[in-house]
């Protein structure tokens, strides 16, 4: 089958947001870019998407260990996953904050077509689906060797999942059936740096035609896969980054890929920035 991708060029750096405190996530909402930083107050920096000027800062109460950030245009809010206290924080555009417990070690998060929040729980190998206000709608137990870092649900209800920690033998991106029980397609396998291999595929972004961007953390690159998870090309190379890409967000209206570029030393994140690519 011949696929048509509207976002399939090699990425070009168009801007870099300020380097500084480590970045825990990035997302876009209502023509603004939200950047999550690991600090006691003013953790969320909000920039406009045209000139990348800082508009305002927001504080999230009780925030401790940031693992991801996503947004929902329908409810006009952003979500933050907090691994240490196993909670989700919800922040509306005016800055009002609420939170709820996950009970599964919240890691990666995304919003599906029903405007619900998907939370990957790597410690227990599950995906949990919550309403926008924290009601648990369902939980799926994934096949035994998948401890998910991040998951995105496709329009037909399947899940695209990335998994593979530093000590794991298998590093790949999988498409999983809507009930969570079966792997229908996959890309990757044994850990490595060749085309078709990953070394900690940490985060995903999917465009409107369901092409998949994969942040390959320790290979310092972002790759592009077709909707059937066939390799297309490298979009972001190690030469484009200073450190490693561990989070990202695609803003399709402006063909922009926001990539979190964090520095890690002795297993600690010490600095970070967001690099903006035209794709």
d(CA 254, CA 252): 5
Q: Evaluate whether 109 touches 130 at the Cβ level (below 8 Å).
A: no
Residue 266 falls inside a structural domain: yes
SS3 239: helix
246 lies in which domain range? 12-278
Residue 23 falls inside a structural domain: yes
d(CA 140, CA 162): 15
Residue 4 falls inside a structural domain: no
Residue 186 falls inside a structural domain: yes
Task: Tell me the longest C-alpha to C-alpha distance in the chain.
Answer: 50
Instruction: Indicate the number of domains in the chain.
Output: 1
**pLDDT tens digits, one per residue of 113-122:** 999 999 999 9
Residue 18 falls inside a structural domain: yes
**pLDDT tens digits, one per residue of 35-94:** 999 887 889 999 999 999 999 999 998 888 889 999 999 999 999 999 888 999 999 988
At 81, which CATH number? 2.120.10.30
For residue 40, the model assigns a pLDDT of 77
DSSP state string for 66-113: EEEEEEETTTTEEEEEETTTTEEEEEETT--EEEEE-SS-EEEEEE-T
Residue 3 falls inside a structural domain: no
Burial 20-42 (b: 16+ CB within 10 A, else e): ebbbbbbbbbeebbbbbbbeeee
- pTM for the structure as a whole: 0.94
Residue 234 falls inside a structural domain: yes
**pLDDT tens digits, one per residue of 191-201:** 999 999 999 99
Residue 1 falls inside a structural domain: no
């Amino acid at each position: 089958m011949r696929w048509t991708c509207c976002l399939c060029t090699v990425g070009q750096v168009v801007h870099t947001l300020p380097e500084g405190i480590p970045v825990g996530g990035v997302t876009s909402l209502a023509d603004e870019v939200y950047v999550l930083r690991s600090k006691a107050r003013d953790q969320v920096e909000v920039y406009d998407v045209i000139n990348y000027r800082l508009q305002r800062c927001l504080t999230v109460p009780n925030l401790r260990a940031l693992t991801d950030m996503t947004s929902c245009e329908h409810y006009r809010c952003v979500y933050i996953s907090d691994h240490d206290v196993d909670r989700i924080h919800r922040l509306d555009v005016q800055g009002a904050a609420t939170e709820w417990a996950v009970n599964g070690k919240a890691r990666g998060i995304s919003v599906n077509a029903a405007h619900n929040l998907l939370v990957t729980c790597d410690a227990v190998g599950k995906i949990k689906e919550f309403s926008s206000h924290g009601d648990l709608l369902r939980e799926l137990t994934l096949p035994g060797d998948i401890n998910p870092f991040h998951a995105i649900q496709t329009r037909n209800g399947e899940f695209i999942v990335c998994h593979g920690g530093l000590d794991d033998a298998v590093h790949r991106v999988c498409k999983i059936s809507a009930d969570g029980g079966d792997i229908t397609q996959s890309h990757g396998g044994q850990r490595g740096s060749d085309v078709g291999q990953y070394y900690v595929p940490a985060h995903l972004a999917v465009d409107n035609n369901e092409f998949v961007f994969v942040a390959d953390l320790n290979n310092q690159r972002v790759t592009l896969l077709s909707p059937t998870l066939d390799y297309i090309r490298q979009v972001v190379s190690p030469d484009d980054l200073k450190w490693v890409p561990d989070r990202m967000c695609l803003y399709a209206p402006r063909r922009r890929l926001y990539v979190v570029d964090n520095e890690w030393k002795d297993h600690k994140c010490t600095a970070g920035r967001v690099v903006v690519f035209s794709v």
